[in-house]
Homo-oligomer: A and B are copies of this chain.
């Protein structure tokens, strides 16, 4: 497929000449996200800035049956923003305004192209809190977070993106502009189009405005790093902390390798770790009353001391806390910088975490690959990095996929599923039949057709063997 001059001309009419790009540099720049080393450039990159422009683009694309792939900050980890069939790459970067921080109703109305951290800071200045914090929050867009239903470290206490989305303005594939719901905390009015849009990875429409729920800011937290001699005991401790009646605001698991590699990768962060330590838990509690936080930290100490642990490190200053979080957030990039890799975003009920971890190691041994595991243990979300290391290219191509299938089968057997927060996108879609029956997938295909009869909206994503 080529973008013919007529189409190009129409796009230029809609957004203005200087926001339409067909040069290779721009196309390849918008052809990738953070998913392994894929690059699928669109034929043309378009950068609209109003809902009317997006509507006009979609109308035109729908008439001409041209694929349109919404592109956010290109930080995705499942290839949701890859233009696998070329067509129009719809960059949302100019939708970068926070429209209104509503201090009366504890809500914010924002455009999708705002960086999540900027949004968090802006509402924070008003004493409000948007708690969702994907590791990439310094660069990802809030719109992409909604498309993928992003999670992060604080999800264990505060929930994921979907729990804060009240209402969305969406341009449908046919160009019609809709609102999915209302700006209310309660809503029992028709089918929940808002929640159907969240996590739909740009396959049902283009999100152009977002109404989010906020909560009052939380003023204090306590952060501790607990070294475990046995990785599986670290996983067991996770469930024990909740059973003790504590809901931590973060509960992160890192295998030894994850920390070691990250300390090499990140400058200025160093923790001394005994050789025998296999894993760490990074545990945070937060609230407005420091006395209570210390009581809760004490309770957590009582729980973790029942396991084989080394000395617990309490972060005393903001500086120390930031350093520990910097370490944790850099794990993904650090592990990936070290080798060719594949990342899986498994999620299980949290008590099944030790079984999942052991299973992953066994499967790795069976197929001859090494894994580095880390993630949001508090909500059972384990990121599994399969690193190529010294594996032959042939084994990497033939053995790893078999292992991945077995990992997903184990996840589903444990009542979990394929992706906790990264989405299915392009790279995981063919594994969907492991999690869903044919009937369940038929329903999803049916929904896709209701929204997008011509299959122009980010085609070839989510649904198995989809084109």
Q: Please list the residues of chain A having a beta carbon within 8 angstroms of any beta carbon in chain B.
A: 102-107, 127, 148-151, 155-156, 159-160, 162-163, 167, 172, 176, 178-193, 195-196, 198-200, 215-217, 239, 242-243, 245-247, 288-289, 292, 295, 345, 347-352, 376, 379-381, 412, 415-424, 432, 435-437, 439-441, 443-444, 446-451, 462-463
**Neighbouring B residues of A239 by C-beta, 8 Å:** 104-105
* Contact between chains at B347 and A182 (CB < 8 Å): yes
Contacting A196 at CB < 8 Å: which of B176, B196, B242?
Answer: B196
**Alpha-carbon distance A371/B315, docked complex (angstroms):** 57
Contacting A424 at CB < 8 Å: which of B188, B295, B419?
Answer: B188
8 tightest A-B CB contacts, nearest first: A446-B450, A195-B195, A182-B417, A104-B351, A186-B420, A183-B415, A105-B349, A185-B379
* Contact between chains at A443 and B185 (CB < 8 Å): no
* Contact between chains at B105 and A444 (CB < 8 Å): no
* Contact between chains at B172 and A160 (CB < 8 Å): no
**Neighbouring B residues of A381 by C-beta, 8 Å:** 184-186
**Neighbouring B residues of A172 by C-beta, 8 Å:** 439, 443
**Alpha-carbon distance A183/B187, docked complex (angstroms):** 24
* Contact between chains at A195 and B193 (CB < 8 Å): no
From A352, which residue of chain B is reached at the shortest CB distance? B105
Contacting A188 at CB < 8 Å: which of B107, B181, B199, B447?
Answer: B199
Given contacts A186-B151, A186-B347, A379-B186, contact A444 B193 (CB under 8 A): yes
A7–chain B nearest beta-carbon distance, Å: 25
Contacting A379 at CB < 8 Å: which of B150, B184, B421, B422?
Answer: B184
From A464, which residue of chain B is reached at the shortest CB distance? B190
* Contact between chains at A188 and B437 (CB < 8 Å): no
**Neighbouring B residues of A245 by C-beta, 8 Å:** 127, 216-217, 288
* Contact between chains at B187 and A149 (CB < 8 Å): yes
**Neighbouring B residues of A149 by C-beta, 8 Å:** 187-188, 192
Given contacts A103-B243, A292-B289, contact A192 B198 (CB under 8 A): yes
From A437, which residue of chain B is reached at the shortest CB distance? B178
Contacting A200 at CB < 8 Å: which of B182, B191, B423?
Answer: B191
* Contact between chains at A462 and B190 (CB < 8 Å): yes
**Neighbouring B residues of A424 by C-beta, 8 Å:** 188-190
A54–chain B nearest beta-carbon distance, Å: 15
* Contact between chains at B451 and A443 (CB < 8 Å): yes
Contacting A440 at CB < 8 Å: which of B178, B349, B422?
Answer: B178
A243–chain B nearest beta-carbon distance, Å: 7
* Contact between chains at A447 and B415 (CB < 8 Å): no
**Alpha-carbon distance A10/B7, docked complex (angstroms):** 60
**Neighbouring B residues of A193 by C-beta, 8 Å:** 440, 443-444
* Contact between chains at A420 and B184 (CB < 8 Å): yes
* Contact between chains at A178 and B216 (CB < 8 Å): no
**Alpha-carbon distance A76/B210, docked complex (angstroms):** 32
Beyond A186-B379, A188-B424, A447-B447: 13 further Cβ-contacts under 8 Å? A104-B243, A160-B186, A162-B192, A172-B443, A176-B439, A178-B437, A180-B440, A182-B415, A182-B435, A184-B380, A185-B381, A190-B463, A191-B448
A146–chain B nearest beta-carbon distance, Å: 11
Given contacts A191-B444, A289-B292, A450-B446, contact A347 B462 (CB under 8 A): no
**Neighbouring B residues of A186 by C-beta, 8 Å:** 151, 155, 160, 347, 376, 379-381, 420-421
**Alpha-carbon distance A460/B315, docked complex (angstroms):** 60
From A245, which residue of chain B is reached at the shortest CB distance? B216
* Contact between chains at B188 and A148 (CB < 8 Å): yes
**Neighbouring B residues of A289 by C-beta, 8 Å:** 289, 292, 295
From A150, which residue of chain B is reached at the shortest CB distance? B188
A76–chain B nearest beta-carbon distance, Å: 11
